[in-house]
Amino acid sequence: MITGIHHVTFITADLTRSRAFYEGLLGLQPDPKRPLMSFDGVWYDVAPGQQIHLMALPDPEAGLQRPAHGGRDRHVALAVSDFDGLVVRLKQAGIACTLSQSGRRALFCRDPDQNALEFIAML
């Protein structure tokens, strides 16, 4: 029986650039418990028992054309407590965003490696 999502993993071609996005813009903190592996990467605790993993590996989908709206692409949806603050930070950083077409208070953007992220306002 599935009880939740433990982690989501994204491939990054440039770990420094991705860390600036996930840490500097989204405010996530690296998990120091990530073991040494055969490739570089970072783990972020998002909520108790939930993580985002970045793997520094060559992009197997380089050149793939992605839909303009992240909601029409595979994506992870993240609950946020300060939706308005996130919108301001994304706009100030020049990150393109689209609103959810569902009518929810949610938006989509892409990380530096074109992975689609959805952010949903939690009341």
Q: What is the pLDDT of residue 91?
A: 96
Residue 56 pLDDT > 90, yes or no?
Answer: yes
Residue 123 pLDDT > 80, yes or no?
Answer: no
Is residue 99 within a helix (H) or strand (E), and if so which, with residue range?
Answer: strand 97-99
Whole-angstrom distance, CA of residue 42 vs CA of residue 19: 8
Query: Under CATH, domain 70-121 is a member of which superfamily?
Result: 2,3-Dihydroxybiphenyl 1,2-Dioxygenase, domain 1 (3.10.180.10)
- CA nearest to 19, candidates 45, 2, 41, 48: 41
Whole-angstrom distance, CA of residue 79 vs CA of residue 84: 13
Q: What is the pLDDT of residue 38?
A: 94
- Residue 112, token pair as written in the block: 């530096």
Q: What is the pLDDT of residue 19?
A: 98
Predicted model pTM? 0.91
Beta-sheet strand order (sheet of 50-56): 7-12, 50-56, 41-47
Query: Under CATH, domain 7-56 is a member of which superfamily?
Result: 2,3-Dihydroxybiphenyl 1,2-Dioxygenase, domain 1 (3.10.180.10)
